[in-house]
Amino acid sequence: AQSVTQPDIHITVSEGASLELRCNYSYGATPYLFWYVQSPGQGLQLLLKYFSGDTLVQGIKGFEAEFKRSQSSFNLRKPSVHWSDAAEYFCAVGGFGNEKLTFGTGTRLTIIP
């Protein structure tokens, strides 16, 4: 069975500081990996995705993520966070021929001035 673990329920960082959100997955074949962001009261917006190729993926809003097969990880990073980045972040996994995305439990990001 496929699964996603986001070990950090809540992270607080200062505005301008760097950010890394962790995501570990379990999947029996080559995974398709995603990061979504959800602002309060809103739906989910895709930040970036990995299907194949370059393991460092660039997304919107200055985010990037790196796929590390050996560590079964797909961590999300941003060099300098902005107050508007405060939201909840979800990692998800699927695969070729498997369209049922499985989501992690999310990491809530708080930004302090």
Partner 1 sequence: NAGVTQTPKFQVLKTGQSMTLQCAQDMNHNSMYWYRQDPGMGLRLIYYSASEGTTDKGEVPNGYNVSRLNKREFSLRLESAAPSQTSVYFCASGDWDSGNTIYFGEGSWLTVV
Q: Is 74 exposed, middle or buried, given 0-12, 13-18 or 19+ CB atoms closer than 10 A?
A: buried
Closest approach of Cβ 20 to partner 1, in Å? 19
Structure tokens given for 81: 């966070």
Binding site for partner 1 (CB under 8 A): 4, 6, 9, 34, 36, 41-46, 49, 51, 90, 94, 99-106
> What backbone phi and psi angles, to 5 degrees, belong to 78?
-150, 130
Closest approach of Cβ 47 to partner 1, in Å? 10
> Residue 49 or 77: which CB sits closer to partner 1?
49
Closest approach of Cβ 17 to partner 1, in Å? 25
> Residue 34 or 78: which CB sits closer to partner 1?
34
Bridge partner list, 24: 5, 73
Contact 23, 75 (CB under 8 A): yes
> Residue 36 or 78: which CB sits closer to partner 1?
36
